[in-house]
Amino acid sequence: MDKFFSPSKWFVGFCGLFVCIFFALKYVHECHMQEIAKVVATDMFSYNWPTSGVNIVCDINEIKVLKADTNDAEVMVQGTQKIERSSGDTSTSSCRALLKLYRANNKWFVGAMEAQ
């Protein structure tokens, strides 16, 4: 039985390069989702009440992309809130949220935020 097809080194190299580019694009997409989720979660968990003398600052510790498609994504965000009162008291609290992001017209929007 004769061989009908034997891949050359150029074909194998091209396929390897194609796979590397695919995984690099996937990695960049997930990093982009993580940055968007970090900004959204920081805005969600950080706030300031000047009349009550309370300032809450959030530091995001962990971001996991649970699902990422071309037009939607689910991201789990965990962090620590630092609560500062005007009396000088400070305390910390953990915070966690599931963010659902959607894309329309090449812009990402927050569809839902579920604090847990």
CB 27, CB 39: distance < 8 Å: no
What's the CATH fold of domain 9-115?
Nuclear Transport Factor 2; Chain: A, (3.10.450)
Coil vs helix vs strand at 2 = coil
Structure tokens that stand for 15 in this block: 């396929």
Record the pTM.
0.81
- Percent of the chain topping pLDDT 70: 98
Tens-digit pLDDT profile for residues 74-96? 999 999 999 998 888 889 999 99
Query: Which among 85, 82, 83, 72 has a CA at the least distance from the CA of 36?
Result: 72
State yes or no: pLDDT of 11 exceeds 80.
yes
Mean of all residue pLDDT scores within the chain: 90
| Predicted confidence band of residue 1 (pLDDT cuts 50, 70, 90) | low
Average pLDDT of 21-48?
Answer: 92
Average pLDDT of 55-67?
Answer: 92
Strand partners, 90: 84
Question: Would you list the domain boundaries of the chain?
Answer: 9-115
Rounded Cα distance, 96 and 99, in Å: 10
